[in-house]
């Protein structure tokens, strides 16, 4: 006597299996922050909604204080830009970085080359300002753009350093790659995590002294 069988049972099992496979597993990334062109840390499971690993190596100059730092962690792949970004808010206030984004477990374990920092003025300029603790700044100063910087940007929102989170606003020159960042994005630099509420990007005009 043949055992009693239900055709629907096999179909249901196949559907459940496909559903489970489609859900996948949370991504795991190396997480660390440190001075220098590399850092190492523990593997951690990314929180829901963060589907990419990232490594950022950046050089920053704040009021003449130069530093090189590295950040590794999780972020949204839709917010992540792989490549070079340069911003200048003044002769002694700038930030350049190289970033790599990937979507496999531990794919940010290595490092990326430190960014090339071309500080040669290119004849363009932008309104410039840096305003901590506020989300607006007037841009009454002028920043002279350097290297590949051809855009004027205005970023504002919140910035987090460790457990401290505060408002910020800044204007200045940037490479076109900086225009990838949009309002609502969480953007890591080598030193800070930015939560953008405003992200304007416009072509930079020529400096009046060099206009034809």
Tens-digit pLDDT profile for residues 41-58: 999 999 999 999 999 999
Instruction: Give residue 18's pLDDT band: very low, low, confident or very high (50, 70, 90).
Output: very low
Looking at residue 162, its pLDDT comes to 84
Looking at residue 27, its pLDDT comes to 97
For the chain, give every domain's residue range: 26-203
Coil vs helix vs strand at 11? helix
Tens-digit pLDDT profile for residues 94-128: 999 999 999 999 999 999 999 999 999 999 999 99
Coil vs helix vs strand at 193? strand
Tens-digit pLDDT profile for residues 125-174: 999 999 999 999 999 999 999 999 999 999 999 999 888 999 999 999 99
Looking at residue 64, its pLDDT comes to 85
**0.75 cut: is pTM over it?**
yes
Coil vs helix vs strand at 150? coil
- Which whole-number Å values give the CA distances from 6 to 1, 17, 125, in the listed order? 16, 18, 74
How large a percentage of the chain has pLDDT more than 90? Answer: 79
Fold of 26-203: CD59 (2.10.60)
Is 3 exposed, middle or buried, given 0-12, 13-18 or 19+ CB atoms closer than 10 A? exposed
| CB contact set of 186 (below 8 Å; sequence gap of 6+) | 75, 76, 79, 193, 194, 195, 196
Say what the alpha-carbon torsion angle 172, 177, 178, 184 is, to the nearest 10 degrees.
160
């Amino acid at each position: 006597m043949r055992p009693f069988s239900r055709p629907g049972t096999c179909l249901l099992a196949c559907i459940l299996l496909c559903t489970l496979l489609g859900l996948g597993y949370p991504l795991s990334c190396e997480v660390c922050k440190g001075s220098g062109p590399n850092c190492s840390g523990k593997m951690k499971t990314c929180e829901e909604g963060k589907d990419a690993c990232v490594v950022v190596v950046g050089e920053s100059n704040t009021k003449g204080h130069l530093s090189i730092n590295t950040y590794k962690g999780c972020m949204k792949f839709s917010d992540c830009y792989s490549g070079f970004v340069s911003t200048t808010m003044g002769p002694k206030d700038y930030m350049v970085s190289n970033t790599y984004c990937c979507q496999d477990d531990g794919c940010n374990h290595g490092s990326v080359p430190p960014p090339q920092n071309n500080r040669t003025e290119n004849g363009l300029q932008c309104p410039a300002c840096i305003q901590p603790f506020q989300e607006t700044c007037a841009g009454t100063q002028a920043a002279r753009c350097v290297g590949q910087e051809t855009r004027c940007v205005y970023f504002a929102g919140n910035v987090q350093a460790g457990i401290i989170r505060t408002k910020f606003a800044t204007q200045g020159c940037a490479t076109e790659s900086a225009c990838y960042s949009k309002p609502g994005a969480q953007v890591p630099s080598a030193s800070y995590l930015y939560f953008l509420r405003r992200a304007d990007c416009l072509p930079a005009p020529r400096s009046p002294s060099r206009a034809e």
